């Protein structure tokens, strides 16, 4: 059966930001971030210490040399390190520089995909609503590459190119394992349409990519599940990545509330479960039914992904949730599109503020704004 017509275009208006304007906004945020961070500290020192970069670089070195010398196994999935190793080899640049190049290019590609899929207002809001997106794009992180593959798979599914969609979603799973929710969403939609032959094909594609991913991990590390084992330490005593919805966030928030954590950090932490819940529920409400017509796979993915991270037993979930939700933000914003301000002065002002906040989280608030928060 052909896919239902997607009604995204009907939700747009002529005054929305063009792709050129959104990319200009993104590049301006990159420039502000780089300028301020480099003025206070050495950019490459900041990048090396940022997030999981040292683990990604360690895995990239294993891939480049095709040898693991022993010792502590590097954490993380191998999809992003493959990109780092490839760019480093092709362009003859250090792996740390390749990491930044991969993240920036994937970030730009993701913004193009989000603009094409959900329009200019959503794309513009997406790049500034969470300042961590700029950190992940500039200092590096697996999220930009994950989202690039993920949203490209959504576009392919819209035009019923299910094999390509499954291939891209499977590749996204090698970057971040939650890409499996996209494959499950595709399978559910095909099952509802009784396209069982196509369902079997995408299952084979997913299995094939899984075998190609696990084989070198097994050869080099001695275990095909080394990428998963590293995550289990944060799941508590039961070593299972799910518990009651909201309970991990509430426990970690209460722990920090009575642990002298600053008010602005607590406020930022409190915003995201509300945004996630309201956005995910809004997708299923009658007033959004036409907007999400033909986007069943994206709606299912957003619901599964959001529920998973609201139930994820991470000890510091109140701090981590804002980053965990970055990949689903375009869909949450699309469901809440009516709340996005239509004044470009507000959009550009928010973009500049977001770029400054992304710097303050790395080089301290006072070095960026010139004063200290109470």
pLDDT at 341 over 70: yes
Counts for the chain of helices (H) and strands (E), in that order? 19, 0
Q: Is residue 153 part of a domain?
A: no
Q: Is residue 267 part of a domain?
A: yes
370: phi then psi, degrees, rounded to nearest 5: 85, 0
Q: What percent of the chain has pLDDT over 90?
A: 72
Q: Is residue 156 part of a domain?
A: no
Structurally, the chain folds into a number of domains equal to: 1
pLDDT at 140 over 80: yes
Q: Is residue 260 part of a domain?
A: yes
Q: Is residue 303 part of a domain?
A: yes
Contacts 24+ apart (CB under 8 A), 270-273: 270/318, 271/322, 272/321, 272/322, 272/325, 273/246, 273/249, 273/310, 273/321
Which tens digit of pLDDT belongs to each residue from 170-223? 999 999 999 999 999 999 999 999 999 999 999 999 999 999 999 998 888 877
pLDDT for residue 233 = 63
Which tens digit of pLDDT belongs to each residue from 16-64? 999 999 999 999 999 999 999 999 999 999 999 998 999 999 999 999 9
pLDDT for residue 6 = 47
Mean pLDDT is highest, among 9-13, 229-233, 352-356, 370-374, for 352-356
**Host domain of residue 299:** 231-340
Q: Is residue 306 part of a domain?
A: yes
Average pLDDT, the chain: 90
Q: Is residue 16 part of a domain?
A: no
Which tens digit of pLDDT belongs to each residue from 245-288? 888 899 889 888 888 888 888 999 999 999 999 999 999 998 88
Q: Is residue 280 part of a domain?
A: yes
- Tokens representing residue 172 in the block: 């996204």
Identify the band that residue 7 occupies on the pLDDT scale cut at 50, 70 and 90: low
Q: What is the mean pLDDT of residues 112-118?
A: 97
pLDDT for residue 82 = 96
> How many Å apart are CA 135 and CA 141, to the nearest integer?
8
């Amino acid at each position: 059966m052909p896919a239902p017509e997607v009604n995204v275009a009907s939700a747009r208006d002529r005054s929305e930001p063009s792709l050129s304007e959104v990319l200009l906004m993104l590049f301006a945020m990159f420039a502000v971030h780089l300028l301020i961070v480099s003025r206070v500290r050495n950019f490459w020192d900041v990048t090396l210490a940022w997030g999981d970069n040292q683990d990604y670089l360690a895995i990239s070195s294993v891939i480049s040399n095709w040898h693991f010398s022993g010792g502590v196994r590097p954490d993380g999935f191998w999809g992003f390190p493959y990109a780092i190793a490839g760019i480093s080899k092709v362009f003859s640049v250090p792996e740390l520089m390749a990491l930044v190049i991969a993240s920036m290019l994937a970030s730009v590609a993701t913004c193009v995909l989000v603009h094409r899929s959900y329009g200019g207002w959503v794309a513009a809001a997406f790049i500034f609503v969470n300042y961590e997106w700029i950190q992940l794009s500039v200092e590096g992180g697996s999220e930009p590459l994950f989202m690039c593959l993920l949203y490209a798979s959504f576009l392919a599914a819209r035009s019923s190119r299910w094999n390509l969609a499954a291939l891209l979603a499977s590749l996204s799973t090698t970057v971040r394992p939650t890409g499996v929710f996209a494959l499950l969403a595709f399978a559910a939609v095909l099952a509802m349409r009784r396209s069982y032959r196509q369902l079997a094909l995408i299952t084979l594609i997913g299995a094939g990519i899984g075998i190609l991913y696990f084989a070198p991990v097994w050869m080099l590390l001695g275990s095909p599940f080394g990428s998963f084992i590293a995550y289990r330490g944060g799941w508590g005593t039961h070593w299972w990545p799910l518990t009651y919805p909201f309970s991990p966030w509430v426990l970690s928030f209460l722990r920090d509330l009575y642990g002298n954590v600053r008010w602005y950090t607590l406020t930022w932490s409190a915003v995201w479960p509300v945004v996630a819940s309201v956005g995910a529920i809004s997708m299923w409400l009658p007033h959004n039914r036409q907007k999400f017509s033909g986007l069943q796979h994206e709606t299912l993915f957003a619901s599964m992904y959001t529920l998973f991270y609201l139930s994820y037993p991470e000890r510091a979930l109140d701090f981590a949730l804002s980053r965990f939700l970055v990949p689903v933000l375009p869909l949450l914003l699309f469901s809440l599109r009516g709340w996005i301000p239509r004044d470009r002065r507000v959009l550009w002002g928010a973009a500049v503020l977001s770029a400054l906040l992304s710097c303050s989280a790395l080089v301290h608030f006072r070095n960026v704004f010139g004063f200290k928060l109470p």
